[in-house]
Amino acid sequence: MAHAHSHSAGIDIHAHFYPRAFLQMVADEGGALEARCRLPDRAGETGSLTADGTTWPAEHRMVDIDARLAEMDRQGVAVHALSLTAPMVYWAGGELSRKLSAVFNDGCAAAHQKHPSRFVGLAMIPMQEPKLAIAELERAAKLPGIRGVYMATRIVDRELSDPAFLPVFERIVELKLPVFLHPIKVVDPARLKAYYLNNLVGNPTESAMAASHLIYGGVLDRLPGLVVCLPHAGGSFPYLYGRINHGWKVRPECRHLKNPPESYLRRFYYDTITHAEKPLTYLLDLVGPDRVILGSDYCFDMGYEQPVEVVAHHPRLSEADKARVLGGNARRLLGL
């Protein structure tokens, strides 16, 4: 296998995937919910998925495992941890969201079985229905290649600290699976319509909100074994931790927390997607290189074309730390 770079052990934990069967199920069964899908059937073609009032692109390389492998080889990425992307499944109500989750998880397992050393999966579960979520979690955890759980930074309009979700998190911890977060809906979307700000500003804001709810909502205290990875290098959370921490000192709403919020910085993992060197340097200094993991946001235009190069050429990282960020941390986290 010819790799583009000597750092060829890259494990990318932020790599989106639409199994063909998932898109087909949206096309076949989403009509009552005004969901539609156009499958990309040929290389170079982009299909689309419409659900929850928004349309997302579905590129051929997001569906086709072999096209993806060729790109991974070119990037020097050894492993993709496959995850769904917007709109995920929560829009689909109860039973359809369970079926969509299952068909996605089966698609990850099939990719893993075809290329066991190249693909693992982050299981989708219908979190908005906790009983169904636990049932699919139990099923998916037994599938080959499932190494984590994927969920939104909030579930429809409920925060992750909602007590209804606690039994799901408890079971995730018992199964020793890490949780990977990603935004779908962002706060105040009307103000973020212009200039693609829903992604540029909205998405990173969601990470800070989700992290704050997990901290102040007591989820991390109740579940010391819960491992959470934040996308987009933690969004604005690493930059705001001083402010979130100061609130704990001065605000009555925040006094219930035993330990300062800054003590939770290393309870999270963070991907490398900053699109600028200085913020990545700051993050590495703040949380340590053992808490930062290679991510690309494959295959979106807001991702990295060369995720490995970003780390391999980072001026502040030792060779040992580069190896950690490129693969060692993910290997530990995903149990590879």
The pLDDT of 139-151, averaged and rounded, is 98
CB neighbour class for 91 (10 Å; exposed up to 12, middle 13-18, buried from 19): buried
64: three-class secondary structure by DSSP: coil
Instruction: Give the pLDDT band (50/70/90) at residue 6.
Output: very low
Q: What is the pLDDT of residue 2?
A: 39
Beta-carbon count within 10 A of 124 CB? 29
The residue assigned the tokens 């605000």 is 251
70: three-class secondary structure by DSSP: helix
Among residues 210, 119, 110, which one has the least CA distance to residue 169? 210
Provide the β-strand partners of residue 179: 149, 228
Among residues 121, 122, 128, which one has the least CA distance to residue 98? 128
Q: What is the pLDDT of residue 42?
A: 87
Mean of pLDDT over the chain: 95
Pick the CATH number of 10-334 from 3.30.1360.200, 3.40.190.290, 3.20.20.140, 3.40.50.1220: 3.20.20.140
What is the C-alpha separation between 35 and 48, in angstroms, rounded? 11
Question: What percentage of the chain has pLDDT greater than the value 70?
Answer: 98
Provide the β-strand partners of residue 148: 122
Q: Cα-Cα-Cα-Cα dihedral of 273, 301, 28, 119, to 10°?
A: -50
Tens of pLDDT along 17-53?
Answer: 999 999 999 999 999 999 999 999 888 899 999 999 9
Q: Return the higher-pLDDT residue of 65 and 3.
A: 65
221: three-class secondary structure by DSSP: helix
- Sheet-wide strand order for 10-16: 10-16, 77-83, 119-124, 146-152, 179-182, 228-230, 268-271, 292-293
Model pTM score: 0.96
Tens of pLDDT along 240-274?
Answer: 999 999 999 999 999 999 999 999 999 999 999 99
The domain limits of the chain are 10-334
The pLDDT of 121-130, averaged and rounded, is 98
The residue assigned the tokens 């290679």 is 294
Q: What is the pLDDT of residue 8?
A: 58
User: Over 70: is that where the pLDDT of 88 sits?
Assistant: yes
Q: Measure CA 335 to chain center.
A: 17
Residues 6+ apart with CB under 8 A from 106: 19, 21, 143
Instruction: Give the pLDDT band (50/70/90) at residue 1.
Output: very low
Tens of pLDDT along 153-195?
Answer: 999 999 999 999 999 999 999 999 999 999 999 999 999 999 9
Look up residue 219 and give its amino acid. V
Instruction: Give the pLDDT band (50/70/90) at residue 9.
Output: confident
User: Over 70: is that where the pLDDT of 140 sits?
Assistant: yes
